Amino acid sequence: MTLTLQLGVLVFLSAVAPAYQLRILPALDGCNTYTFTGHGLSDSGDVVGNLQCGDSGAYRAVLWDAEGFHLLETLGGRNSYAFGISRDGATVLGGADNGQIAPGGQFVIRPVVWSNGAIAELGTLGGAFGGAVAVNPRGDVVGACESAEIDLRLGGEPARACRWEGGAPSDLGDLGGPNAEALDVNERGWVVGWSSTTTPISDLEGFAHVAFLLDGSGMIALGTLGGESSGANAVNESGEVVGWSETPPVNGYEQTHAFVWRRGIMHELATIAGGYSYAWDVDARGDIVGTSMVPVPGKRAATIATLWRKERVLNLNDLVANLDGWSLNDATAINKSGRILVMAHRSGEERIAVLEPVDP
């Protein structure tokens, strides 16, 4: 069948030849693994993610490389989180608690990087919390870090989009609102993420937030697909930005759809069966990976790992030769060789997996 959308007539293929082999990454017995952001896959195929075991509630950052499975060091607390890995696999980015408790009762999470297995704490803007998310080949690290100054609009310390150069954090600015977060940086040093604005959210407390691109000319608001809020998750070397945006309300409800922003225009990506969607990563070829949420009558929406390639939107479950009962729920990263990082589910197990391209 064909679906006519803003990018033209996009063909959804329900039956295609297998294009990938599924590789489930190992975990400790009784533990699940999770990937939280779109930067967990290096160019050589190293993977970072997070391990959770039993009912403990604690997370540990994990690295899978050519030598196997490694639990990464903490700052003395129970929890650590891996959010990204450098292209060469040498640096892992994330956050870790230091065993202290903030006044609000949460664990204090500090931004960190791991290199050669050793952890190094990065600074914040004076606040307790932060997380490093992405790094470019020049070593620029981006993420979020808390300010020490109280913002009266929040009644507390805001989270700010940060860049660490030489280990020192700098505030990247905002689009008028108190909070912001940087989520990716490309080789040119262009940064994408989201910032809150001065627009109150309808019927709720807080402010709408909008995707931004920070290039050499300053921070640019990328807009929305007609709804109140949007966010940018990744940018490739040619400046293509992907993320999510709310659309105009239908029957009183806004939907969230994936977008790609090219040369000043935000384009809505096709959806599978009219559901919600999110784009998490984009490669140099313009292939985009993400998640679709498809309505299921009488049940919770099904989440589907999704690939947008040229004029097609593809269910990655249809492209794998050896699913063996696994369902692929999210596609969070894609590297230069075409490997795709996915979340796989089977009989209560949640595991990180890699889709290895099959040679034609």
- Residue 193 sits in a domain of what CATH number? 2.120.10.30
pLDDT tens-place string over residues 103-138: 878 889 999 999 988 999 999 999 999 999 999 999
In tens digits, what is the pLDDT along the chain, a chain of 360 residues? 223 233 332 333 334 557 999 999 999 999 999 998 779 999 999 999 999 998 778 999 999 999 999 999 999 999 999 999 999 999 999 999 998 988 878 889 999 999 988 999 999 999 999 999 999 999 999 999 999 988 888 888 999 999 998 878 999 999 999 999 999 999 999 999 999 999 988 766 789 999 999 998 899 999 999 999 999 999 999 999 999 999 998 877 789 999 999 999 999 999 888 789 999 999 999 999 999 998 877 778 889 999 999 879 999 999 998 999 999 999 999 999 999 999 999 999 999 999 999 975
C-beta of residue 92 within 8 angstroms of C-beta of residue 60: no
Please indicate, yes or no, whether residues 4 and 103 belong to a single structural domain of this protein: no
Residue 98's DSSP bridge partners are none
The amino acid occupying position 98 is N
pLDDT at 37: 74
Please indicate, yes or no, whether residues 13 and 48 belong to a single structural domain of this protein: no
Please indicate, yes or no, whether residues 7 and 40 belong to a single structural domain of this protein: no
Euclidean distance between CA atoms 235 and 80, whole angstroms: 26
Euclidean distance between CA atoms 124 and 275, whole angstroms: 38
Domain's final residue, options 244, 269, 290: 290
Please indicate, yes or no, whether residues 315 and 356 belong to a single structural domain of this protein: yes
C-beta of residue 211 within 8 angstroms of C-beta of residue 229: no
Please indicate, yes or no, whether residues 27 and 40 belong to a single structural domain of this protein: no
C-beta of residue 49 within 8 angstroms of C-beta of residue 3: no
Please indicate, yes or no, whether residues 312 and 193 belong to a single structural domain of this protein: no
Query: 234 lies in which domain range?
Result: 34-290
Domain's final residue, options 252, 275, 290: 290
Euclidean distance between CA atoms 75 and 96, whole angstroms: 6
Please indicate, yes or no, whether residues 16 and 92 belong to a single structural domain of this protein: no
Helix, strand, or coil (residue 123)? coil
Q: Among 177, 244, 178, 173, which Cα is nearest to 215's?
A: 173
Please indicate, yes or no, whether residues 197 and 330 belong to a single structural domain of this protein: no
Residue 276's DSSP bridge partners are 293
What one-character DSSP code corresponds to residue 348? Answer: T
Tokens 């790992």, residue located: 305
Please indicate, yes or no, whether residues 148 and 118 belong to a single structural domain of this protein: yes
Domain count across the chain:
2
Report residue 49: phi and psi, to 5°: -165, -155
CA distances from 133 to 36, 40, 257, 317, 360 (A): 10, 9, 23, 28, 34
Please indicate, yes or no, whether residues 115 and 179 belong to a single structural domain of this protein: yes
Buried b (16+ CB within 10 A) or exposed e, 203-216: eeeebbbbbbbbee
pLDDT tens-place string over residues 235-273: 999 999 999 999 998 877 789 999 999 999 999 999 888
Please indicate, yes or no, whether residues 281 and 312 belong to a single structural domain of this protein: no
Please indicate, yes or no, whether residues 25 and 72 belong to a single structural domain of this protein: no
Q: Residues with Cβ < 8 Å from 249, sequence gap 6 or more?
A: 227
Query: Whole-model pTM?
Result: 0.92
Domain's final residue, options 236, 262, 290: 290
Q: Residues with Cβ < 8 Å from 22, sequence gap 6 or more?
A: 320, 321, 322, 323, 324, 326, 328, 344, 353, 354, 355, 356
The amino acid occupying position 229 is S
